[in-house]
Chains A and B, each alone.
Chain A
Amino acid sequence: MLTARIDALRAQGRRALVCYATAGHPDPDRSVALWQGLEAAGADVLEVGVPFSDPMADGPVIQASSQVALEHGVHLDGALELVHRAQLGIPVVLFSYLNPLIAAGEGVLRRAADAGVHGVLVTDLPVGSDPAREAWLGEGPLDFVRLVAPTTPAERMGEIARHGRGFVYLISRLGVTGMSDTLPPDLPATIARLRGVCTLPICVGFGVSRPEHARAIGAHADGVVVGSAIVRAAGESVNLAVALARELRAALDEPAAR
């Protein structure tokens, strides 16, 4: 469903807007309202962040949101309940660290699918690191989305693309999640290198926070992922985050993007 959704957009000359939000932030009820608002604002895919105590790949904004969600008692199964409650029409991808997935047990992928989740992305399980657990995630009911980094050599990019399903998540720059003023100048070249070895749609995230970033990336990639900017706005109000999503949607859909 993920690939189909993004490919359908591509066929119309459009780019996918992938919005990230931490489950249970700013609180469980508003989390559900936020996701529904993001869908209404034109998000094509929702990434639901699973709160974790030690988010080593995340910058301050998502760290803080994760902490707030944990204080509300939202863990992986709580996140699935919220996804079920939201009844979204767009595909949902769980964005998790490995440890909460292991702790939730083998049946968690089936429970996630039943709750309305379509894909799963694991921050700290790179290709080749743990064949047994990668097989568990890759052969289950969810699309296992894999990540490519700017440091990834070209041949490894191909290997990652072969192992991935749904789309390939390209990390735009070195570092943790968070907002940036500018995009890395070599990003188009990195996307082109990945495109050469990858048939899956390519979505670009990390440091993508403004409509002009979305527009610039849309000229090269199949989708953009916006996380920290939405989470920060949601911390102020759901409406603010939804308004940002609407701006991002409009920027991606401007004909000037191509």
Chain B
Amino acid sequence: MTTHVESDGRFGAFGGRYVPETLVPALDELEAALAEALADPAFHAELNGLLQHYVGRPSTLCDAPRFSELVGAPVWLKREDLNHTGAHKINNALAQALLARRMGKRRIIAETGAGQHGVATATVCARLGLECVVYMGEEDMRRQRLNVYRMRLMGATVVPVTAGTRTLKDATTEAIRDWVTTCPTSHYIIGSVVGPAPYPRMVRDFQAIIGREARAQMLERAGRLPKSVVACVGGGSNAMGVFHAFVGDADVELVGVEAAGHGLDSGAHSASLTCGTPGVLHGALSYLLQDAHGQVYPAHSISAGLDYPGVGPEHSHLKDSGRATYVSVTDDQALEGFAMLGRLEGIIPALETAHAVAWIASQRGRWAADEPVLLCVSGRGDKDVAQVSELGSLPG
């Protein structure tokens, strides 16, 4: 197995800190505050207390008998959809908000695609009494009206982003512009394992609780480690969160499922790892959908949370080192996955998660009957029901 390299804010060749000079001292400050917090038992005590009583952790590991029958192998669901706010995003948002408060920063900036990270950030800001400004692409605000309302209900300011493709990429760019202007008093809570160092490692570490719990739960419930761990990948935070605890388990296959949108040949997809080339966007070197001139392609996915042309640098490293495998699933397949888990298990997954569901469903025969598969259910699908219902007849 390839050893996992992490030094200098890089994962192999990927990552780094490609930011305007103005942000370099802010990132240094963040790195120092993070190290100090992680060494402070009081920080962990407060975080763990809130994760348990406010978020509702540990999230359960749930069997899926009817879906397993379809797949031909036991599938176990790590239920991040059961967290407060309905997705894994709150694990990271909560920890970073506590960190911001330690740093004396009372104003929080966030970007959001599907709205799950924005909602999680608005939620923890309400709980901690912090000001919250969320940047969201106009197109995503249309697709995720309910989440916009939820954020505003909790006192956050949602700023529509009208530049470019009006989706997550442009919301992230706009959030960075805000941070360049306000960094002495604001903290930017990035929602995924992307951005300049130390963000990719920090967000992974705050999400790694998913895999730590799931690994112990698998050993307890299934009596063994999973054969494969499967998660959807946009920026890749739920995937890194669940993968991290298993990276050292050479026999456990790690599979990330990207959004193939209208198909990999259509040019309308978000499969950065499958089809991209290394490039620099939003402060890090990673696989990127870009043209020959280094201009970033607009991504596409039916799921706003996967609709991003880049990906976390650690995923790029896991791909190049061969430790993880990345596959992709189209919009139509994802819709089938969305309906399938609802019909077979009574669990409506987020459209993001539905990509991972659909890939597992397509792989019948890949696993022996006694080889368990672990699926990270990154979020619940309620936010997507209105959008999917507008497509017409029931999918699947």
Where the two chains meet, the residues of A that have a C-beta atom closer than 8 Å to any C-beta of B are 52-57, 59, 63, 70, 75-77, 97-104, 123-127, 129-130, 147-153, 156, 160, 171, 174-176
**Cβ–Cβ contact A176 & B181, under 8 A:** yes
10 interchain residue pairs of minimum CB distance? A103-B294, A175-B181, A75-B293, A149-B22, A100-B294, A99-B294, A149-B21, A53-B295, A57-B20, A124-B18
Residues of chain B contacted by A130 (CB below 8 angstroms)? 16, 18
Given the interface contacts A56-B173, A103-B290, A174-B184, does A123 sit within 8 Å of B20 by beta carbon?
A: yes
CA distance A175 to B179 in the complex (A): 8
Which of B50-58, B116-124, B206-214, B274-282 interfaces with chain A?
B274-282
- Which residue of B17, B170, B182, B279 is within 8 Å of A174 (Cβ)? B182
Residues of chain A contacted by B39 (CB below 8 angstroms)? none
Fill in one digit per residue for B176-192: 1 if any A CB lies within 8 Å of its CB, else 0.
11001111100000000
**Cβ–Cβ contact A54 & B17, under 8 A:** no
- Which residue of B164, B181, B283, B292 is within 8 Å of A124 (Cβ)? B283
Minimum CB–CB distance for B277 against chain A, Å = 9
Minimum CB–CB distance for B8 against chain A, Å = 10
Fill in one digit per residue for B11-54: 1 if any A CB lies within 8 Å of its CB, else 0.
00000111111111110000000000000000000000000000
Residues of chain A contacted by B19 (CB below 8 angstroms)? 124, 126, 129
Residues of chain A contacted by B169 (CB below 8 angstroms)? 54
**Cβ–Cβ contact A126 & B24, under 8 A:** yes
Minimum CB–CB distance for A182 against chain B, Å = 15
**Cβ–Cβ contact A147 & B20, under 8 A:** yes
**Cβ–Cβ contact A102 & B280, under 8 A:** yes
**Cβ–Cβ contact A56 & B295, under 8 A:** no
Residue from the set A59, A147, A149 with the largest chain B CB neighbour count within 10 Å: A149
Given the interface contacts A54-B164, A56-B176, does A149 sit within 8 Å of B281 by beta carbon?
A: no
Residues of chain B contacted by A70 (CB below 8 angstroms)? 295
Minimum CB–CB distance for B278 against chain A, Å = 8
Residues of chain A contacted by B170 (CB below 8 angstroms)? 54
Residues of chain B contacted by A175 (CB below 8 angstroms)? 22, 177, 180-181
Q: 7 additional contacts, CB 8 Å, given A57-B177, A171-B22? A: A56-B282, A100-B295, A124-B18, A149-B21, A151-B24, A151-B26, A156-B25
Say whether B327 faces chain A, with CB atoms less than 8 Å apart: no
Say whether B163 faces chain A, with CB atoms less than 8 Å apart: yes
Minimum CB–CB distance for A92 against chain B, Å = 20
Residues of chain A contacted by B159 (CB below 8 angstroms)? none
CA distance A151 to B21 in the complex (A): 8
Residue in chain A with minimal CB distance to B18: A124
**Cβ–Cβ contact A102 & B20, under 8 A:** no
CA distance A146 to B292 in the complex (A): 26
Residues of chain B contacted by A153 (CB below 8 angstroms)? 25
Minimum CB–CB distance for B25 against chain A, Å = 5
**Cβ–Cβ contact B292 & A103, under 8 A:** yes
Residue in chain B with minimal CB distance to A66: B295
How many residues of chain B get a CB closer than 8 Å to chain A's CBs?
Answer: 35
Minimum CB–CB distance for A171 against chain B, Å = 6
Residues of chain B contacted by A125 (CB below 8 angstroms)? 18
**Cβ–Cβ contact B21 & A171, under 8 A:** yes
Minimum CB–CB distance for B272 against chain A, Å = 14
CA distance A98 to B296 in the complex (A): 12
CA distance A203 to B284 in the complex (A): 28
**Cβ–Cβ contact A63 & B163, under 8 A:** yes
Residue from the set B21, B280, B292 with the largest chain A CB neighbour count within 10 Å: B21
CA distance A149 to B26 in the complex (A): 11
25 contacts between A and B (CB under 8 A): A53-B164, A56-B177, A56-B180, A57-B177, A98-B18, A99-B281, A100-B294, A103-B292, A125-B18, A126-B17, A126-B20, A127-B21, A129-B19, A147-B20, A149-B21, A151-B21, A152-B24, A152-B25, A156-B24, A160-B21, A171-B20, A171-B22, A174-B22, A174-B181, A174-B183
**Cβ–Cβ contact A149 & B18, under 8 A:** no
Given the interface contacts A63-B163, A100-B295, A102-B294, does A176 sit within 8 Å of B177 by beta carbon?
A: yes
CA distance A54 to B290 in the complex (A): 11
Residue in chain A with minimal CB distance to B282: A56
- Which residue of A63, A76, A174 is within 8 Å of B180 (Cβ)? A174
CA distance A179 to B348 in the complex (A): 49
Minimum CB–CB distance for B375 against chain A, Å = 33
Minimum CB–CB distance for B299 against chain A, Å = 12
Residue in chain B with minimal CB distance to A153: B25
Residues of chain B contacted by A56 (CB below 8 angstroms)? 20, 173, 176-177, 180, 282
**Cβ–Cβ contact B22 & A102, under 8 A:** no
Residues of chain B contacted by A147 (CB below 8 angstroms)? 20-21
Minimum CB–CB distance for A81 against chain B, Å = 13
Residues of chain B contacted by A97 (CB below 8 angstroms)? 280
CA distance A139 to B148 in the complex (A): 50
Residue in chain A with minimal CB distance to B25: A151
**Cβ–Cβ contact A103 & B20, under 8 A:** no
Residues of chain B contacted by A124 (CB below 8 angstroms)? 18-20, 280, 283
CA distance A223 to B257 in the complex (A): 52
CA distance A102 to B169 in the complex (A): 20
